[in-house]
Structure 1
Amino acid sequence: MTETADRFPAPLTDAETERLRAFLDSAAVPEESLDFLGAHGFLTALAVAPRQPEPSRWLRELFGGEPRYADDAEAARIPALLQRLSRSVALDLYHGQPPRLPCPLELGPDPDQAPLADWCSGFMEGVFLDDTAWFAADEERVAELTLPMMMASGLFDEDGDLERLRRDPRRSRSMVRDIPDLLVDLYLLFHAPTPNP
């Protein structure tokens, strides 16, 4: 691997997760900010990504602007929690373990209301942050591995095949249940060492 395990901090505690969730659901963030599920998907994309954007850039994208922090301590604490969340996902991926998503792996009869749709939308926003790097090495393979997230997000093809798949509970279920394993495959595609010739 290109990273070592000792670079990854401990996962968030339940209390830290709830603190982060409460902040992202509060009036302190811009209206365009991702909620906790979207932020988790976004940060998972950062964990997978072939290269890391500057924190100032991805924080601005995640929040859709600048949050109104209560004080300097909160202004330091919230970004630190976000970074730890992304790195804890990266630690699972580093060890070849599918990360646990904070929502069921299903879209149900109304995908517009499904928590997984929010997670996948956030994930794709993270991909869009540096899509050139994502698709540079093997565009076809990356498109194949991200297809379930693209479909579930509802961000694409509003009147076409992806949307028809998204609104078919049986077919969408068969696609989205593999998302955790696909995240491992994406991580390995970008971060596994290149074999010697």
Structure 2
Amino acid sequence: MFLPLTEKELNRLEDMLIVYGNDYSVINLAELNGFFTALASSPNTVQPMEWLPAVAGGHVPKFKKPADEEAYTALMLRYASQVAEDLEDDVDGFEPLFEQGEGDQGTEVVMEEWCFGYMRGTQVAGWAALPTEQDALLKTISLHGLEDNVELLDQMSEQNIQQCVPQVIDAVRQLYRFYSRQR
């Protein structure tokens, strides 16, 4: 069992995502949380040597010093374990790390980056075709997590997007349950 990351460690991890990231890498903790949620939900175990380069945009970052590489790797491993343990311990209470933003009606949930991370995780884990019910659940998430759907989202009102939040959370929980029965 890993100790959950402290707020200071989470901030350091997010800073490292920015410093060592590129146009193809995971950009923030919300996206990383989505990515690790998909990996933890996957029917396939994905080893860190497979997912670490995917987080960094397809390659292992060139670190400025060995201590940065050690910290980056240790924080990634602990955070991946933390997300997996959160799901395993209480899938019904699991809450994705969505961002918050200011909208016309005040503070609103921003799901896109988390959903993009989730969809990246399904690709890295090589999720196979799903049965109809589970495919519909994944489409609930992919609506907010694939470039192909950006125009569709632009046509939706903020209110409609906010109404999708509980549906996405439910889809995440159901997909985890579906695959956990198969492991």
Q: TM-score range by the shorter chain?
A: 0.7 to 0.9
1:191 aligns with 2:183: no
Give the equivalent residue in structure 1 for 2:72.
78
- RMSD value, Cα: 2.7
Q: Amino acid of the residue matched to residue 69 of structure 1?
A: F
Percent identity of equivalent pairs:
23
Residue 12 of structure 1: how far off its partner (Å): 0.9
Q: How many residues are aligned here?
A: 176
Give the equivalent residue in structure 2 for 1:146.
138
User: 1:99–1:124: structure 2 CA closer, same or farther, 3 Å change rule?
Assistant: same
Q: What is the CA deviation profile of residues 44-74 of structure 1, one whole-angstrom value per residue up to 9, with x for unaligned ones?
A: 2111111122212211111012212232232
Give the equivalent residue in structure 2 for 1:69.
63
1:94 aligns with 2:88: yes
2:36·2:84 contact (CA, 8 Å) conserved in 1? Answer: no
Q: Which has the higher strand share?
A: 2
The separation in 1 between residues aligned to 2:102 and 2:182, in whole angstroms, is 35
Q: Could you say what secondary structure the match of 2:143 adopts?
A: helix
Residue 146 of structure 1: how far off its partner (Å): 1.7
Equivalent of 2:49, from 50, 53, 56? 56
1:19 aligns with 2:12: yes
Give the equivalent residue in structure 2 for 1:171.
160
1:34 aligns with 2:29: no
- Which 4+ runs in 1 deviate beyond 6 A? none
What stretches of structure 1 of length at least 5 have no aligned partner? 1-7
User: 1:193–1:125: structure 2 CA closer, same or farther, 3 Å change rule?
Assistant: closer
TM-score between both structures, scaled by the size of structure 1: 0.75
Q: Could you say what secondary structure the match of 1:102 adopts?
A: coil
TM-score between both structures, scaled by the size of structure 2: 0.80
User: 1:180–1:79: structure 2 CA closer, same or farther, 3 Å change rule?
Assistant: farther
What stretches of structure 2 of length at least 5 have no aligned partner? none
Q: Amino acid of the residue matched to residue 86 of structure 2?
A: D
